[in-house]
């Protein structure tokens, strides 16, 4: 009897060891080599960096401006954004709008959206000077590229990623103009900073000028690079007004209203729940799943934060996120942006 118990204990320990090693090697294929403080591939997008809020100001009505400081903050370039983890655990994304040359310091601006999902309300209510705030290393989907001429177009809080670009374009001696729209001057942050650029900047509050007139875009030279960040209607108008051959680079600060144009319908089986769902072409996997499982966690809805990552049991995934590693994509997906490459997926939900 004792021999049987001993053999059982040894077998159980061996199984547990194999399982632990398999997971450890999967997370770090170079294990047992020592981990690097900074991976050769750069900073992990999942790494959280503790920072301290050293300044909190209000540059406009309903706008919160925070300065975050830490010796561990990586360098960044114009157009970059970071994830922040709010005290409640919510994860939100904000563009860096400070000076990239200022090491160890990030600046973000947060517009209060009363009808939003709660992140901005929490930030305005709970983020105080002196408090700690965790951020992830910067990512950049709105990279500032060299050109001789630029037209920058910003709507509301969409000015934040554009500010560092203006500094960079000026330093490079480029020819540029900015069209900056908003509801009113009192709601438009950074107007004093922009005043220093003189006639290059056109400030067009809606209560004074109505919607921005974009007809001048039709006459810009073909080598002009157009950058636009703002609400979806503004970006659609810019796309329609820009002449053929002029490159337009855009960044949304809210999720797109519809999936990509090449999206097609498919079905999703929720294996543990015993349900099969239809995902229409004009909706997302996350939306379909949450109709059946309302408590399914999510946050950014743009493929940045990883909150809605779930295991895929079968089927091929059309990965459209900016976060998962190749290894993670082998058996998981982000429900908010990724879809099926085939007609059917099976999720461990």
Structure tokens at 211: 């919607």
pLDDT of residue 321: 82
Say whether pLDDT at 296 is over 80.
yes
Give the pLDDT band of residue 40 (cuts 50, 70, 90).
Answer: very low
Backbone conformation region of residue 130, classed left if phi is above 0, alpha if psi is from -120 to 50, else beta: left
Q: What is the mean pLDDT of residues 116-135?
A: 94
Give the pLDDT band of residue 124 (cuts 50, 70, 90).
Answer: very high
How many Å from the N-terminal Cα to the C-terminal Cα in the chain?
41
Say whether pLDDT at 254 is over 80.
no
Say whether pLDDT at 179 is over 60.
yes
Cα 267 to Cα 205, 260, 271, 329: the distances in Å are: 46, 18, 12, 19
Task: Average the pLDDT over each of 5-14, 17-26, 45-54, 140-149 and give the range with the smallest value.
Answer: 17-26
Cβ 235 vs Cβ 214: under 8 Å: no
CA distance linking residue 1 with residue 14, whole number of Å: 20
Task: Average the pLDDT over each of 16-30, 69-83, 292-306, 326-340 and give the range with the smallest value.
Answer: 16-30
Residue 145 β-bridge partners = none
Give the pLDDT band of residue 56 (cuts 50, 70, 90).
Answer: very high
pLDDT of residue 38: 41
pLDDT in tens, 193-209: 999 999 999 999 999 98
pLDDT of residue 312: 95
Q: What is the mean pLDDT of residues 221-231?
A: 94
Each as own residue / partner, the long-range contacts of residues 322-328 (CB below 8 Å, 24 or more positions apart, any chain) are: 322/45, 322/139, 322/141, 323/45, 323/46, 327/26, 327/29
Q: What is the mean pLDDT of residues 92-114?
A: 95
pLDDT of residue 256: 53
pLDDT of residue 33: 42
pLDDT in tens, 154-174: 999 999 999 999 999 999 999
pLDDT in tens, 269-279: 999 999 999 99
Say whether pLDDT at 19 is over 70.
no
Give the pLDDT band of residue 257 (cuts 50, 70, 90).
Answer: very low
Q: What is the mean pLDDT of residues 89-107?
A: 94
Say whether pLDDT at 241 is over 90.
yes
Cβ 346 vs Cβ 312: under 8 Å: yes
Residue with tokens 């900074």: 38
Q: What is the mean pLDDT of residues 87-94?
A: 90
């Amino acid at each position: 009897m004792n021999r049987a118990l001993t053999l059982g204990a040894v077998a159980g320990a061996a199984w547990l060891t194999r399982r632990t090693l398999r997971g450890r090697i999967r997370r770090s294929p170079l294990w047992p080599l020592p981990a690097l403080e900074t991976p050769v591939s750069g900073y992990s997008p999942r790494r959280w960096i503790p920072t301290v809020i050293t300044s909190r100001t209000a540059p406009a009505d309903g706008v919160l401006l925070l300065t975050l400081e830490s010796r561990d903050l990586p360098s960044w370039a114009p157009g970059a954004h970071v994830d922040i983890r709010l005290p409640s655990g919510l994860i939100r994304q904000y563009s860096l709008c400070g000076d990239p040359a200022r090491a160890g310091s990030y600046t973000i601006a947060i517009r209060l959206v009363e009808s939003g999902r709660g992140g901005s309300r929490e930030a305005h209510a709970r983020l105080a000077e002196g408090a700690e705030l965790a951020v992830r290393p910067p990512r950049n989907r709105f990279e500032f590229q060299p050109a001789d001429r630029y037209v920058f177009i910003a709507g509301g809080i969409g000015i934040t990623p554009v500010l560092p670009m203006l500094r960079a374009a000026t330093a490079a001696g480029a020819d540029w103009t900015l069209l900056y729209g908003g509801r009113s001057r009192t709601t438009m942050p950074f107007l004093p900073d922009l005043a220093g650029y003189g006639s290059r900047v056109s400030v067009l509050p809606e209560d004074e000028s109505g919607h921005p007139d974009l007809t001048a875009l039709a006459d810009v030279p073909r080598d002009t690079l157009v950058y636009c960040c703002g609400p979806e209607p503004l970006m659609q108008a810019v796309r329609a007004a820009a002449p053929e051959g002029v490159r337009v680079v855009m960044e949304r600060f809210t999720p797109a209203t519809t999936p990509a144009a090449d999206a097609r319908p498919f079905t999703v089986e929720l294996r543990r729940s015993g349900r099969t769902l239809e995902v229409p072409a004009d909706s997302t996997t996350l939306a379909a799943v949450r109709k059946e499982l309302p408590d399914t966690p999510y946050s950014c809805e743009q493929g940045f934060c990883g909150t809605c990552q779930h295991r895929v049991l079968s089927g091929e995934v059309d990965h459209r996120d900016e976060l998962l590693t190749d290894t993670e994509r082998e058996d998981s997906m982000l429900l908010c942006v990724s879809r099926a490459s085939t007609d059917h997926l099976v999720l461990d939900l």
